[in-house]
Amino acid sequence: MIADTRTREYQARAMKVMPGPQSNLRMPINIRPTFIERGQGSHLWDVDGNEYIDYMIAAGPGILGQSNPEFIDAMKAQLDKLLYSVSGASQTPMEVDLAEKLVQTIPCAEKVRFLLSGTEAVQLAIRLARAYTGRRYFIRFEGSYHGWLDNVLGGLVHDNPADNPFPYEGEGDSLGTAGRDPSAFEQCFYLPYNDIETLEQVLDRRGHEVAVILVETIQASGVICPKPGYLERVQALCEKYGILLCFDEVVTGFRVALGGAQELLGITPDLAIYGKAVSGGLPLAVLAGRSDVMDLLLGSKVVGAGTFNGYPLGVSAALATMEILQRDDGAIYRRIDDVQAKLVGGLAEIIKRHGVKALINSVRGILTVHFTDKEVVWSMKDVTPAETQMSHKFRLCLANENILILFGGRWLISAAHTDEDVDRTLECADRAVARLYL
Ligand SMILES: Cc1ncc(COP(=O)(O)O)c(C=O)c1O
């Protein structure tokens, strides 16, 4: 029996005063509610003292794990020194330090702007691109998430914005929402990912009207990598039609490499968005890019504002995170690689032993088990609804073993995960896989 007395009490109180948890895009950890009270390294404890191994790490930010002593000390020192500043009216020295470090680290970054969330940074990128090109439309791809605002949330794939193809909400659209401005989708073409022919056809007709192509280079949902040559071709098409290329590195930034997927894949876009892991658990997002585009923010030609932009604690959190990640020539990344290799190897062995057809998509710091007999998954469309159901079931079977992975079956590895965590995880995964077909 799982202890849940206090959980039930909190749930009863919560239901009276809140419309559910603070995001209703992410499914709960488990079928039962969970109130997490404490974290240490890669482990979490709920209000009833149940202990979990955490592969959700706040959906990305927790790259250092909970309670990293060096990070916490840096935050305490910053709180003692300066709590707030007035975004826009004055600046802090840390802001300059961080901007310099990011410009040295992120290949496309000639200039950077700080914001609070990936959602906001995406919108600023679109606004800047429109101002720079004088064009109206943007392109985004199926299976990518770029925040929760009207113009980027889910929808139905379409190659003509005038069709406004989200006539209904929810149906056929896993990220549908009521209350959306009906004209929001008229701003973009929403195309299949990893499908260069469709992109070419659309650009052939409408390329001169497109301001920016937003690409989540490695789609976090499903850990979908670009086909060989795909991004190079996308970039060449951007050059041909005078379109800006923007990588959404909110998940990949600081995770697959300090410079993000653009460093890993060797392709430098015009703009890029970083968030989540950048500041090790505190809110901060970064829009990085070419000076001639970013400089439109000088003198308010393009407005990019926010009360908390560049707030001292977030900026010092990003500086501390970078310092820790860069130390010893990226020793933490090598440790993440080792832990992940052991986890992936162990999961692959369990899957094989149980005779389950599955494929593990894994890049540094992030992995997903797809329950498919395909040899490669180039798009979430390649995964059938029945296979997706298996992923959900696997996640719940793991949650019942107190192993927490994200909705969609995503595992995130942090600097705090240990070999012992992996050993225990694999024991639990063995039982979870055995239960999959019951
Ligand atoms: C790829 C990607 N872009 C943008 C966002 C939005 O970032 P935020 O939740 O910080 O607004 C997310 C969030 O999960 C994301 O995964």
The set of residues, in sequence order, having a beta carbon less than 8 Å from that of 206 and lying 6+ positions away, is 137, 189
Q: Which of 144, 247, 276 to mutate to test the pocket of ligand 1 (most atoms within 8 A of CB)?
A: 276
Give exposure, 209-239, as e/b (b: 16+ Cβ within 10 Å): ebbbbbbbbbbbbbbbbbeeebbeebbebbe
**Reported confidence tier of residue 174, pLDDT bands at 50, 70, 90:** low
> What pLDDT is stored for residue 180 in this prediction?
84
- Fold observed for domain 86-310: Aspartate Aminotransferase; domain 2 (3.40.640)
Backbone angles phi, psi at 104, to 5 degrees: -70, -25
Atom of ligand 1 nearest to the CA of 219: 1
CATH superfamily assigned to domain 5-67+331-436? Aspartate Aminotransferase, domain 1 (3.90.1150.10)
pLDDT at position 95 over 60? yes
* Residue of 22, 21, 10, 15 whose CA lies nearest to 283: 22
Instruction: Quote the DSSP letter at residue 87.
Output: B
pLDDT at position 176 over 80? no
Average pLDDT for 154-183: 70
> What pLDDT is stored for residue 162 in this prediction?
78
> What pLDDT is stored for residue 172 in this prediction?
47
pLDDT, one tens digit per residue, over 75-88 is 999 999 999 998 88
Q: How far is the CA of 125 from the centre of ligand 1 (A)?
A: 14
Q: Taking the model in full, what pTM does it have?
A: 0.96
Average pLDDT for 148-173: 72
What strands, in cross-sheet order, belong to the sheet with 188-191? 111-115, 285-289, 271-274, 244-249, 210-215, 137-141, 188-191
**Reported confidence tier of residue 165, pLDDT bands at 50, 70, 90:** low
Average pLDDT for 277-303: 96
**Reported confidence tier of residue 347, pLDDT bands at 50, 70, 90:** very high
Helix (H) or strand (E) holding 167: none
Average pLDDT for 411-435: 97
Strands 366-370 and 359-363: antiparallel
Beta bridge partners of 115: 285
> What pLDDT is stored for residue 182 in this prediction?
79
pLDDT at position 421 over 80? yes
Q: Which of 119, 223, 254 to mutate to test the pocket of ligand 1 (most atoms within 8 A of CB)?
A: 119
Q: Which residue has its alpha carbon closest to ligand 1 atom 8?
A: 118
pLDDT, one tens digit per residue, over 99-137 is 999 999 999 999 999 999 999 999 999 999 999 999 999
pLDDT, one tens digit per residue, over 306-315 is 999 999 999 9
How far is residue 335 from each of residues 70, 72, 89, 159, measured CA to CA in Å? 18, 21, 42, 43
DSSP SS3 for 89:
coil
pLDDT, one tens digit per residue, over 359-416 is 999 999 999 999 999 999 999 889 998 999 999 999 999 999 999 999 889 999 999 9
- Computed from CA positions of residues 343, 348, 349, 353, in that sequence, does the dihedral angle turn out positive or negative? positive
Atom of ligand 1 nearest to the CA of 276: 10
Q: Which of 146, 247, 279, 308 to mutate to test the pocket of ligand 1 (most atoms within 8 A of CB)?
A: 146
Q: Which residues line ligand 1 (CB under 6 A)?
A: 59, 117-119, 122, 145-147, 216, 220, 248, 250-251, 275
Average pLDDT for 223-242: 98
> What pLDDT is stored for residue 167 in this prediction?
45
Q: Which residue has its alpha carbon closest to ligand 1 atom 4?
A: 146
In 192-341, where do the E strands start and end?
210-215, 244-249, 271-274, 285-289
Average pLDDT, the chain: 94
> What pLDDT is stored for residue 393 in this prediction?
93
Encoded amino acid at 278, one letter: V
Q: Can you tell me the distance from the alpha carbon of 139 to that of 137, in angstroms, rounded to the nearest whole number?
A: 7
Q: Where do the domains of the chain lie? A: 5-67+331-436, 86-310
